[in-house]
């Protein structure tokens, strides 16, 4: 038996006189309790973390699935858009509705005038105000050409 | 003592039993943990580990500006699990059969191309017999029966909801995709197509085939441990290999130009009703193919339109005798090496010339004309004479320097290199025939490239149809491969040959129909007899090739009509107007400013017309004078003969006297 397990009625010769001694059992229980609490906390934390991870993973899967679905829908719409945009389709609509579309011709421009300063776009195009490019070689299709 | 002894024996027995028990446990533990560890661990792992293969999507094909030409459309495959349909109702076979019939009928009603009886047959097959390596037969449950494949995404989504409502068990929907060609027939022969074998795309032809490796997606996989509900356990290690989508291909094709070319080609087909037709538009500086079309063609979305005629890629695979469109190469080489100048006079023998024992004809009777007129009037004899003057070796050099007999470098497979015999295999006639596009076969792409070389001043450039390939941030641009040294040693050669080719579209040229208001058009007509069963026939390839604006070409355009059956069979009449229509619209699309005002252009045309008229008057006068001289000679001869008969001498008498005496008689 060591000095901690040995029962004796005599006071501890090394103890300070006048001070109350905590029984060693209480200390042991306290330490064990603390250890249990720490272990339980760690265990709980781990379980909680796993649970949280699972939840997040499920959430991630759900969002991934949704993204995938949206992508699929976008792909389908792109395919439809490209089919509608094809010249075959446009040409058939031109013929169907007898649209008076013709290819551009330089002679259709009757006169040209270069605006100086600010130019207001018509209201149906947003009515924004922009400065006309008066430099040489400016885009001929800008507001400066009528 | 006895009691003590019996206890001791019993205890000893218990010890022995315990030792034996522990020994057995130890042995089993050793076997499980050490000897058979790997085997058992593997088995255990298999039961809770799942491996999922993930597939990327095949790369798509776009035009230069990013307009989709070949894409992937999401679809769904509907599959049944026959074993599970039965398991749910295994106590009642009749009920199960009813359910199978219901499922089959439901999908027949709501999906295209689904046969109820066929689906019922597949769903009813709950097990199958499989043989292992030893030939042992085992009965296995059937968990996979195809109900419908490639169902449109919207339809599948709606069906999924309905299936949920109707509580059909054992029916699942899996995502897939199919190749879609949103522009239908546009560029179909170049783009090619794919077939599907299980879940793999098998390329058949065109870009789909030649760039299959780049477009194919790399499959990935994910290995994870799953929980009881089948979901991945996230807090244990899982391995995954990423899935890589295929590269997207961006072509050099401009969709609006392609639409123009296709539309005009259709109009030409209506006008001259040819057996086939094709056109190529190329940027001469970079070798970029801007548009390429052919008729007949097919719709890759509707395989019923595919025939051997319509699905062949004529532009890169067909080699034909080009005819007169070969002449500028020979003449430009002769000009460059100083064999002739534009004003050198060539005797075109009035349309018939015998060389190496064979006659060579011209379609127009041409006499002694300068080299410029040889090109302008497309004289076979004139070109052949220049070629003969150059010699076989120089002709071979000339044609090879323009890339004949070699592939163009375009990213299309297969591509023909044409038929161009090596010099040592030439016969005595070759030198007078190769130069006019007979006895040599070239592909439309080779012709387009050779004209690019004339247009860009003699720089050999490889044709390009793929501009770049992209996958996310990984962009690989296909380089322009152009030789740094021109094949023309003389810097004026390009101008000389271009001026001659401009004459082709001016008054007196072979294709005035190809002239475009405000521009100088350099071009050349070609009407080549088709070789059928080894002999020249009465069918023709009518071509026109040229570049605009002649001085600074923005594009080279080749239009060929295979066997026009209505109207003229000549290149100038059959293909020239289509060249003009395409070129005019292309110039507008490219925003190319006219070189000349309308008045200037008309003045130039009328000046050329006037010059032609004057030349014709001069030629007519010359012909008249020659005719008169010939008549005079004939009459003199007749007079001599008459004088011989009458015994009088008329040799010293003047012609007028002879005439008067004849009149007197």
Query: How many Cβ pairs within 8 Å bridge chains A and B?
Result: 62
Same domain, B540 and B617: no
Band the pLDDT of A136: cuts 50, 70, 90. very low
Same domain, B35 and B92: no
Instruction: Give the SS3 label for residue A48.
Output: helix
pLDDT tens digits for range B410-423:
998 889 999 999 99
Domain CATH for B143? 3.30.70.2110
Residue A103 has pLDDT above 90, yes or no: no
Band the pLDDT of A128: cuts 50, 70, 90. low
Report if residue B328 sits inside a domain.
yes
d(CA B366, CA B583): 30
Domain CATH for B565? 3.40.710.10
Give the per-residue pLDDT at A138.
41
pLDDT tens digits for range B479-492:
999 998 999 999 99
Select from B253, B337, B315 the least CA-distant residue to B289: B253
Same domain, B83 and B46: no
Report if residue B347 sits inside a domain.
yes
Structure tokens at B163: 């299936």
Interface test with B, best of A57, A83, A85, A105 (most B CBs within 10 A): A83
Q: Which residue of A has its CA nearest to B233?
A: A54
Residue A132 has pLDDT above 50, yes or no: no
With an 8 Å Cβ cutoff, is B96 touching chain A?
Answer: no
Residue B645 has pLDDT above 80, yes or no: no
The span from the first CA to the last CA of chain B, in angstroms, equals: 186
With an 8 Å Cβ cutoff, is B597 touching chain A?
Answer: no
Number of structural domains (chain B) is: 4
d(CA B590, CA B533): 44
Task: Let me know: does B186 contact A88? Beta carbons within 8 Å.
Answer: yes
Mean pLDDT of B567-595: 91
Counts for chain B of helices (H) and strands (E), in that order: 23, 25
Task: Let me know: does B374 contact B346? Beta carbons within 8 Å.
Answer: yes
d(CA B79, CA B85): 12
The answer to whether the CB atoms of B186 and A88 lie below 8 A apart is yes
Q: What is the largest CA-CA distance in chain A?
A: 125
With an 8 Å Cβ cutoff, is A104 touching chain B?
Answer: yes
Same domain, B282 and B405: yes
With an 8 Å Cβ cutoff, is B183 touching chain A?
Answer: yes
Same domain, B625 and B531: no
Select from B536, B515, B534 the least CA-distant residue to B596: B515
Same domain, B306 and B394: yes
Give the per-residue pLDDT at B475.
93
Give the per-residue pLDDT at B381.
93
Report if residue B187 sits inside a domain.
no
Give the residue from B180, B199, B227 where a domain finishes.
Answer: B180
Select from B526, B458, B527 the least CA-distant residue to B496: B458
Distance from CA of A75 to the nearest CA of B (A): 6
d(CA B271, CA B6): 123
Report if residue B497 sits inside a domain.
yes
The answer to whether the CB atoms of A82 and B231 lie below 8 A apart is no
Query: Which distant-in-sequence residues (6+ apart) come within 8 Å of B587 by Cβ?
Result: B516, B519, B548, B554
Same domain, B417 and B499: yes
Task: Let me know: does B655 contact B632? Beta carbons within 8 Å.
Answer: yes
Report if residue B606 sits inside a domain.
no
d(CA B533, CA A107): 52
The answer to whether the CB atoms of B259 and A82 lie below 8 A apart is no
Report if residue B489 sits inside a domain.
yes
Angle ∠(B101,B104,B110) on CA atoms, nearest 5: 135
Give the per-residue pLDDT at B665.
31
Report if residue B29 sits inside a domain.
yes
Same domain, B128 and B171: yes
pLDDT, chain B, mean:
88
CA count, 13 A, side-chain hemisphere, B334: 29
The answer to whether the CB atoms of A83 and B175 lie below 8 A apart is no
Same domain, B528 and B571: yes
Same domain, B503 and B641: no
Selected residue with higher pLDDT from A110 and B436: B436
The answer to whether the CB atoms of B182 and A73 lie below 8 A apart is no
The answer to whether the CB atoms of A75 and B67 lie below 8 A apart is no
Residue B67 with chain A: CB contacts under 8 Å: 82, 85
Give the residue from B541, B560, B595 where a domain finishes.
Answer: B595
> What are the DSSP calls for B153-192, one per residue?
HHHHHHHHHHHHHHT-TTEEEEEEEEEE-TTTTTTHHHH-
Select from B39, B300, B265, B63 the least CA-distant residue to B189: B300
With an 8 Å Cβ cutoff, is A103 touching chain B?
Answer: yes
Give the per-residue pLDDT at B664.
34
Task: Let me know: does B284 contact B556? Beta carbons within 8 Å.
Answer: yes
Instruction: Give the SS3 label for residue B67.
Output: coil
Same domain, B391 and B342: yes
pLDDT tens digits for range A25-60:
888 899 999 999 999 999 999 999 888 888 888 898
In this complex, the residue of B68, B235, B588 whose CB is nearest that of residue A82 is B68
Q: Which residue of A has its CA nearest to B152?
A: A76
Give the per-residue pLDDT at A10.
55
Report if residue B282 sits inside a domain.
yes
> What are the DSSP calls for B425-489, one per residue?
G--TTHHHHGGGT-S-BB-HHHHHHHHHHHHTTSEEE--BSEEEEEETTEEEEPPP-EEEEES-S
With an 8 Å Cβ cutoff, is A57 touching chain B?
Answer: yes
Give the per-residue pLDDT at A134.
46
Q: Is B418 left (phi over 0), alpha (psi -120 to 50) or beta?
A: left
Distance from CA of A55 to the nearest CA of B (A): 10
d(CA B457, CA B453): 6
CA dist B343 → B335, B370, B521 (Å) = 11, 5, 21
Give the residue from B595, B624, B643 where a domain finishes.
Answer: B595
Select from B493, B552, B462 the least CA-distant residue to B329: B493
Structural domain that includes position B443? 255-595
Element (DSSP H or E) covering residue B404: none
Q: What is the ipTM, given to two decimal places?
A: 0.74
Same domain, B264 and B350: yes
Residue owning tokens 């560029």: B187
Residue A139 has pLDDT above 50, yes or no: no
The answer to whether the CB atoms of A75 and B68 lie below 8 A apart is no
CA count, 13 A, side-chain hemisphere, B137: 4
Band the pLDDT of B658: cuts 50, 70, 90. very low
Residue B91 has pLDDT above 70, yes or no: no
pLDDT tens digits for range B248-284:
999 999 999 999 999 999 999 999 999 999 999 999 9
The answer to whether the CB atoms of B594 and A78 lie below 8 A apart is no
Provide, rounded to the nearest whole percent, the portion of chain B with pLDDT above 90: 48
CA dist A120 → A58, A111, A114, A137 (Å) = 55, 19, 14, 21
Residue B605 has pLDDT above 90, yes or no: no
Of A112-126, B25-39, B121-135, B570-584, the least confident:
A112-126
């Amino acid at each position: 038996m060591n000095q901690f397990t040995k029962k004796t009625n005599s006071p501890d010769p090394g103890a300070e006189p006048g001070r109350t001694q905590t029984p060693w059992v209480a200390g042991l229980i306290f330490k064990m309790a603390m250890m249990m609490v720490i272990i339980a906390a760690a265990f709980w934390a781990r379980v909680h973390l796993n649970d949280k991870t699972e939840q997040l993973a499920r959430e991630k899967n759900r969002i991934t699935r949704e993204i995938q679905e949206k992508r699929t829908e976008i792909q389908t719409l792109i395919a439809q858009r490209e089919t509608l945009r094809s010249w075959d389709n446009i040409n058939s609509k031109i013929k169907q509705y007898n649209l008076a579309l013709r290819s551009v011709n330089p002679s259709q421009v009757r006169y040209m005038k270069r605006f100086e300063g600010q130019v207001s776009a018509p209201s149906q195009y947003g009515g924004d105000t922009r400065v006309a490019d008066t430099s040489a070689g400016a885009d001929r299709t800008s507001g400066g050409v009528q | 003592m006895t009691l003590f002894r019996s206890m001791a024996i019993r205890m000893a027995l218990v010890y022995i039993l315990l030792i034996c028990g522990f020994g057995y446990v130890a042995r089993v533990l050793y076997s499980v943990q050490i000897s058979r560890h790997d085997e058992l661990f593997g088995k255990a792992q298999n039961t809770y580990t799942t491996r999922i293969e993930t597939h990327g999507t095949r790369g798509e094909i776009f035009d230069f500006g990013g307009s989709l030409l070949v894409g992937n459309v999401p679809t769904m495959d509907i599959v049944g699990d026959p074993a599970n349909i039965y398991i749910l109702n295994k106590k009642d076979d009749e009920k199960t059969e009813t359910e199978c019939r219901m499922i089959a009928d439901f999908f027949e009603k709501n999906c295209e191309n689904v046969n109820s009886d066929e689906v019922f047959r597949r769903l009813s097959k709950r097990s199958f017999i499989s043989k292992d390596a030893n030939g042992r037969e085992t009965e296995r449950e059937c968990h996979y029966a195809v109900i419908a494949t490639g169902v449109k995404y919207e339809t599948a989504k709606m069906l999924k909801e309905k299936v949920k409502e109707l509580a059909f068990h054992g029916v699942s929907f899996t995502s897939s995709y199919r190749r879609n060609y949103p522009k239908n027939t546009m560029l179909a022969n170049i783009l090619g197509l794919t077939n599907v074998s299980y879940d793999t795309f098998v390329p058949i032809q065109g870009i789909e085939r030649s760039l299959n490796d780049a477009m194919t997606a790399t499959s990935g996989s994910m290995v994870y441990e799953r929980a009881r509900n089948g979901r991945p356990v996230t807090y244990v290690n899982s391995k995954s290999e990423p899935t890589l989508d295929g590269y997207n291909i961006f072509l050099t094709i401009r969709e609006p130009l392609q639409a123009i070319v296709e539309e005009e080609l259709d109009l030409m087909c209506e006008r001259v009703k040819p057996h086939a037709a094709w056109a190529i538009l190329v940027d001469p500086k970079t070798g970029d193919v801007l548009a390429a079309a052919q008729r007949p063609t097919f719709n890759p979305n509707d395989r019923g339109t595919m025939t051997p005629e319509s699905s062949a890629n004529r532009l890169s695979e067909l080699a034909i005798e080009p005819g007169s469109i070969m002449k500028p190469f020979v003449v430009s080489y002769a000009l460059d090496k100083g064999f002739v100048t534009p004003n050198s006079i060539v005797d075109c023998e009035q349309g018939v010339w015998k060389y190496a024992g064979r006659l060579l004809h011209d379609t127009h009777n041409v006499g002694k004309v300068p080299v410029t007129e040889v090109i302008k009037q497309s004289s076979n004899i004139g070109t052949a004479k220049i070629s003969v003057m150059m010699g076989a070796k120089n002709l071979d050099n000339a044609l090879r320097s323009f890339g004949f007999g070699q592939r163009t470098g375009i990213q299309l497979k297969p591509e023909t290199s044409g038929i161009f015999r090596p010099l040592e295999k030439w016969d005595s006639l070759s030198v007078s025939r190769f130069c006019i596009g007979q006895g040599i076969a070239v592909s439309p792409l080779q012709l387009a490239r050779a004209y690019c070389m004339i247009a860009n001043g003699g720089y050999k450039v490889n044709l390009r149809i793929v501009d770049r390939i992209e996958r996310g941030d990984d962009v690989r641009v296909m380089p322009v491969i152009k030789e740094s040294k021109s094949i023309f040693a003389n810097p004026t050669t390009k101008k000389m040959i271009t001026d001659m080719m401009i004459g082709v579209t001016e008054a007196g040229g072979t294709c005035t129909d190809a002239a475009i208001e405000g521009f100088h058009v350099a071009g050349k007509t070609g009407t080549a007899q088709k070789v059928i069963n080894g002999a020249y026939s009465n069918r023709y390839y009518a071509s026109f090739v040229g570049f605009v604006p002649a001085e600074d070409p923005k594009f080279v355009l080749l239009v060929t009509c295979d066997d026009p059956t209505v109207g003229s069979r000549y290149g100038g009449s059959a293909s020239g107007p289509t060249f003009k229509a395409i070129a005019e619209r292309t110039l507008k699309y490219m925003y190319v400013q006219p070189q000349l005002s309308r008045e200037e252009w008309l003045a130039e045309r009328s000046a050329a017309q006037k010059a032609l008229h004057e030349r014709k008057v001069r030629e007519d006068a010359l012909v008249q004078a020659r005719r008169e001289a010939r008549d005079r000679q004939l009459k003199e001869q007749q007079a001599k003969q008459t004088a011989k008969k009458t015994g009088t001498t008329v040799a010293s008498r003047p012609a007028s006297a002879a005439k008067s005496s004849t009149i007197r008689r």
